[in-house]
Every structure is written in structure tokens, then in C-alpha cells.
């Protein structure tokens, strides 16, 4: 089966992040048929991105919030399972042949019922002298045939279970003893006594049938008896002696009554390794069944198995900072990073393809990779990458926009047949109505966290064509920013409301380190916000000034 590689952007996905993941996944699937590259989102896409996906007829990627190692990532060792009807003898042989002293017990569909261990089976073995043990355990005749390796010579196979007591022919020598024999009983006898029990017992096991002639004589005797009367007895033969058959016969009783079903501890494939470790440390058991979400057993694990884990594989686009990435980033194999931001703090154990370029949009880089690899860009993929460039460069107004971004956008526009200016304004308006959004959503729309020395800072940015609508929800936004600072322990919370029509950004700042924004942008102490004409880029025009001001 092909191994999956997840391709994703940062935690608060914008249009570049989502479109880059989809576009690069498509490219990688064209170049590499040994893996499956799946684009995923870490959270729900925003309104602008949803407009883009709908416009070009592309499905929204599924949400994956964590890539922490799970039970399904463990290299499960081989295992054998048991059914409730399996014999004690079979269970002992199976458990003894594998690591550990416990085995899972399932129904016929492989779903977990319970577990059985050697310590559960031994007391039962020590109590097998009871003649009624096979009857009380509702032992399948198939258990006896399989465990004793018997051959059936009868034709009537209507009886499926042992329904009576077990007798040895040596205990039935006189009439008084013979009267104890009931039609539902089982008799173990030699070939000379066989005929006398036909029709008088439900099951007959004939020992000492050592030659082909012995068996043929018994078959002839059985068939002759069939002509004289209706025989409902099932007859089996063995080359072993009666003594050799007695002990294993008792062990054919099913394990049904000794299966442990209460206080059952098991793990489901979706559980994280961290949770498994914690549960194992507090458990009295040493081995545990592993089941699917449907309850089907796929293995057994112990603490030592938690070392052998297949790490999930991923490609990061539009970010390379641990704090902006997926939960569990430290436990995955990062194969590639494609980005246009500053190099940050993600480290890897093995070498990787790392491509970071000082351009305005990740999709500009991906478009160039398509050209380098000679892969034709489908119209819908071209539309996604063009939308990302327009979004990240704010219709080419942002100072982060380069000639390279414009060049790639022109090529993509030719493929899609889209008028960049008209489409770009429609796209920005589609995701920009301030009054329709909750303050919480506005602040989480494109939010990134930073550490400016000892100060914890959150900077959110929203692009809009509805600048005036900001002031309709202004007070609610301030209140939400204050709540965010208190909840997340932030020293400075900044919101950037950027509008390409008015050609600038309204910067709102609150927090006990608000002085950083005041020093960086000459924000008056009594003012909660300031309009910054010609400012479009958080990365180039906001973050560097705040970082420098924090050092003062």
C-alpha cells in the first residue's frame, strides 16, 4: 500500500496556505507514484478561500488538526487470535507459541470479545475429571475432531455439540454400568467393542484403528447397522490408544467460560501514543489488544512495541515555524518545506528539500516548480495559484510583491482566462464583510504569534473591501482583543485591517506592552488605533518595526 504524505500550511489557513497545499500535492502526485500526497487544512478555510475553491470547482481539503503518533502507526507484531468455541488445548498451544501469555478472543467477524491467558486456562485444566465437562461447556464436536485428529466414518452429521456425559468402555462392562449410558453421551472404545454402542450413544470414538483394513471393517460394520435400524450416532476413528486419547479429549472443552470480558483494557487505532503510555503505566496488564473503530482486532501490543513506530510524513508549505504548524510536528518526518517567510525554528533529524524564496507568495514558487519539472498546469490549479498570489500581494499593492510574483500571475492568468483586477476585487470582497463576521473570527482569520524577547505577541490581519464596516464592530473587536490577551497570556494583541481600495491598514493594538506599537508607529497613548497609508504587509512593514521597538 502506498504511504501517505500530508501537505499543509499554517494553523490559521489563508488562501495561499490552502491553495499551495492543493497545488503542490497535485504536482507531487504527478511526479511520484510511490506515495499518496494529500492536501489537508489545520482548521476551517476562511470565506475568501472558500470563494476561490467554489469558483474553480475544487473540493475543500479535509481538516487534520494533529499528527501525533497513534496506535495505527505502530509496527504491530504478528499475532494469533482465538474464538470462544476454540478448545483449551488449542488455546494453550497458541499462547505458548507466541510472545506473551495472553491472546485476544473474537467473534466470527473478528471483533473483540475478551482475552484469555495461560493463568486463566490452568485452573480449568486441573478440573477436567468431570464426565460432564464437555456437555456443560457445550463443546463443539469439531473441537474433538481437530484436537484429536480424528477421521469420521459415519454419514449422519446432525449432531454438532457434545450434549451428554463422557464414558470409557472399560467403565461399561456390566449391565448396571451400561444403564448409565444415555443416547446423548460420548463413548471412547476399541474397535472390537464398536458395534455394541452403535445407536446407544450420540458419539463414538474408536481407538487403536491402526490399519486400512481396521477402518474398512468398521465402516462395513457401521453400514450394516444402518440397514437394520436408524443410526444417529456419529463415529470417529483414531490410530491412538484409548489412554492416549483420554487426556486430550478433556482438553477439547471450549474456552468460552474462562474468557475475561470484564475490566477489559484495549487500545483503538486512533488513540495517541502518549495516551497509550499513560494507560499502560497505570495498568496491571502487560499486553493489550489493538482494535479498529469497528472493534476488529488487528494486533496485540506491549510497552516494548511503542518504540517501533512509523512516523507520519509531511510537506510544509507557506510556513516553517513550529508554533504555526500542526500539533505533533516534533514527531513527524518533514520531507520538504516550500515557503516565502523568514527561516524559523523547525529542525529535522534527516536532510530535506528546503526551498524558501523572498517573494510575495508561496504559490509563485510552486508555479515555478511546475515549470522546472515540465508539468502542465490544469486550469483549476492555475486558478488556485493565481488567487493565492492576488491574496498574498493584495492585488500587487503589497511591498512584499516582486516582479517574479507578477510574472507568475500573468502566466497563470493566461491559463485561466481570468481578468486579474476584476476577479481579484470580487475575491477580496467575498471574504471581507466586517459586519457579517464575529470579532472572534476576525481575530483568528490570519493570526500569527511571535516572541519579541520576553513579550508574547499576537498579530492578526484581515484583508477587506469594507473598511467602513470595521467601525460598526469596532468596540466589540476591542473587547475580544482584551479577552484574548487575558486568556492566552499575551502582552500585545494587534489587529491589522487592510483595504486595497483605501490603500492602507488600520492598526489596532491593546495589551500591557502596547507601548511597543506606540513607539513603532507613533500611536498616541489615548488612541486605540491608527491608519497607516501604504501599509499592506505584516511581514515587511509591521513585524520588523515592532521587533525593533521591543528592544528599546
| Per-residue pLDDT reduced to its tens digit, 257-313 | 889 888 889 999 999 999 999 999 888 888 899 999 999 999 999 888 888 888 999
Band (44; pLDDT cuts 50, 70, 90): very high
Q: Which grid cell is 281?
A: 503505566
Report the pLDDT value the prediction gives residue 350, as an integer from 0 to 100: 86
Cα–Cα distance, 487 to 465 (Å, whole number): 30
Please, which residues have CB within 8 angstroms of residue 348's CB and are 6 or more apart in sequence? 333, 334
**Under the phi-then-psi rule, with left for phi > 0, alpha for psi from -120 to 50, and beta for the rest, what region is 138?**
left
Give the integer Cα–Cα distance in Å for 319 and 74: 29
Q: Cell numbers for 456, please give them.
A: 508574547
279 DSSP β-pair partners: none
Q: What is the mean pLDDT of the chain?
A: 90
**Start-end ranges of CATH 3.10.310.20 in the chain?**
439-550
Instruction: Please give the CATH topology (third level) of the domain spanning 129-250.
Output: 3.40.1390
The Cα 10–Cα 34 span in angstroms is 26
For 439-550, CATH gives 3.10.310.20
* Domain boundaries for CATH 3.90.1640.10 within the chain: 3-69+312-430
493 DSSP β-pair partners:
458, 510
3-69+312-430, what's its fold? inorganic pyrophosphatase (n-terminal core) (3.90.1640)
Closest by CA to 407, choosing from 343, 354, 440, 364, is 364
What is the reported pLDDT for 434? Answer: 75
Domain with CATH 3.10.580.10 in the chain: 73-124+256-307
**Where does CATH 3.40.1390.20 sit in the chain?**
129-250
Q: What is the mean pLDDT of residues 174-190?
A: 87
The verdict on pTM exceeding 0.85 is: no
Cα–Cα dist 94/365, whole Å: 58
Q: What is the pLDDT of residue 307?
A: 86
Q: Are strands 455-464 and 35-39 parallel, antiparallel or unpaired?
A: unpaired
- Residue 530: enclosing H or E segment and its boundaries? strand 529-533
Average pLDDT of the segment spanning 199-221: 91
| CATH superfamily, region 73-124+256-307 | CBS-domain (3.10.580.10)
Cell of 103: 491472546
Average pLDDT over residues 48-65: 96
**Residue 229: its pLDDT value, please?**
64
Q: Are 115 and 289 in contact (CB under 8 A)?
A: yes
Q: Rounded distance, CA 309 to CA 530, Å?
A: 52
In this structure, are strands 455-464 and 447-452 parallel, antiparallel, or unpaired?
antiparallel
Residue 259 three-state SS? coil
- Residues whose CB falls within 8 Å of the CB of residue 24, separated by 6 or more in sequence, listed in order: 7, 37, 39, 315, 317, 338, 366, 369
Amino acid at each position: 500500500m502506498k504511504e501517505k504524505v500530508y501537505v499543509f500550511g499554517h494553523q490559521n489557513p489563508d488562501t495561499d496556505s490552502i491553495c499551495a497545499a492543493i497545488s503542490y500535492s497535485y504536482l507531487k502526485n504527478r511526479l511520484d507514484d510511490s506515495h499518496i500526497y494529500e492536501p489537508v487544512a489545520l482548521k476551517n478555510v476562511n470565506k475568501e478561500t472558500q470563494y476561490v475553491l467554489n469558483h474553480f470547482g475544487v473540493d475543500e481539503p479535509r481538516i487534520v488538526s494533529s499528527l501525533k503518533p497513534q496506535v495505527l502507526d505502530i509496527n504491530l507484531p504478528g499475532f494469533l487470535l482465538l474464538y470462544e468455541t476454540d478448545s483449551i488445548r488449542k488455546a494453550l498451544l497458541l499462547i505458548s507459541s507466541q510472545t506473551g501469555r495472553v491472546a485476544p478472543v473474537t467473534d466470527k467477524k473478528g471483533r473483540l470479545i475478551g482475552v484469555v491467558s495461560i493463568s486463566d486456562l490452568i485452573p480449568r485444566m486441573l478440573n477436567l475429571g468431570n464426565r460432564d465437562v464437555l456437555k456443560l461447556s457445550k463443546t463443539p464436536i469439531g473441537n474433538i475432531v481437530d484436537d484429536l485428529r480424528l477421521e469420521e466414518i459415519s454419514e449422519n452429521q446432525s449432531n454438532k455439540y457434545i450434549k451428554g456425559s463422557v464414558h470409557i468402555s472399560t467403565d461399561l462392562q456390566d449391565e448396571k454400568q451400561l444403564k448409565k449410558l444415555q443416547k446423548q453421551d460420548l463413548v471412547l472404545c476399541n474397535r472390537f467393542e464398536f458395534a455394541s454402542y452403535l445407536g446407544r450413544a450420540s458419539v463414538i470414538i474408536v481407538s487403536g484403528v491402526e490399519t486400512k483394513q481396521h477402518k474398512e471393517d468398521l465402516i462395513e460394520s457401521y453400514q450394516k447397522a444402518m440397514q437394520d435400524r436408524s443410526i444417529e450416532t456419529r463415529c470417529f476413528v483414531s490410530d491412538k490408544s484409548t489412554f492416549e486419547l483420554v487426556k486430550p479429549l478433556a482438553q477439547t472443552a471450549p474456552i468460552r467460560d474462562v474468557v475475561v470480558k470484564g475490566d477489559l483494557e484495549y487500545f483503538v487505532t486512533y488513540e495517541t501514543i502518549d495516551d497509550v503510555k499513560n494507560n499502560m503505566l497505570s495498568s496491571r496488564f502487560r499486553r493489550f489488544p489493538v482494535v479498529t473503530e469497528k472493534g476488529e482486532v488487528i494486533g496485540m501490543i506491549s510497552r516494548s512495541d511503542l518504540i517501533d513506530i512509523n512516523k507520519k510524513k509531511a510537506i510544509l508549505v507557506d510556513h516553517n515555524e513550529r508554533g504555526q504548524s500542526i500539533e505533533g510536528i516534533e514527531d513527524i518526518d518533514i520531507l520538504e518545506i516550500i515557503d516565502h517567510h523568514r527561516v524559523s525554528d523547525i529542525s529535522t533529524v534527516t536532510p530535506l528539500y528546503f526551498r524558501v524564496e523572498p517573494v510575495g507568495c508561496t504559490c509563485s514558487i510552486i508555479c515555478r516548480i511546475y515549470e522546472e519539472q515540465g508539468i502542465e498546469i490544469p486550469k483549476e490549479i492555475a486558478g488556485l495559484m493565481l488567487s493565492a498570489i492576488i491574496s498574498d500581494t493584495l492585488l500587487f499593492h503589497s511591498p512584499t510583491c516582486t516582479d517574479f510574483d507578477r510574472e507568475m500571475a500573468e502566466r497563470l492568468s493566461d491559463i485561466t482566462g481570468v481578468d486579474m483586477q476584476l476577479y481579484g476585487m470580487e475575491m477580496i470582497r467575498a471574504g471581507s464583510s466586517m459586519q457579517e463576521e464575529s470579532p472572534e473570527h476576525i481575530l483568528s482569520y490570519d493570526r500569527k504569534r511571535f516572541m519579541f524577547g520576553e513579550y508574547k505577541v499576537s498579530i492578526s490581519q484581515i484583508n477587506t473591501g469594507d473598511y467602513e464596516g470595521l467601525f460598526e464592530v469596532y468596540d466589540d473587536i476591542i473587547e475580544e482583543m482584551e479577552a484574548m490577551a487575558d486568556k492566552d497570556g499575551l502582552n500585545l494583541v494587534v489587529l491589522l485591517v487592510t483595504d486595497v481600495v483605501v490603500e492602507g491598514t488600520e492598526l489596532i493594538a491593546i495589551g500591557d506592552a502596547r507601548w511597543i506599537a506606540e513607539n513603532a508607529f507613533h500611536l498616541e497613548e489615548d488612541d486605540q488605533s491608527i491608519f497607516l497609508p501604504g501599509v499592506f504587509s505584516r511581514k515587511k512593514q509591521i513585524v520588523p518595526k515592532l521587533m525593533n521597538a521591543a528592544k528599546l
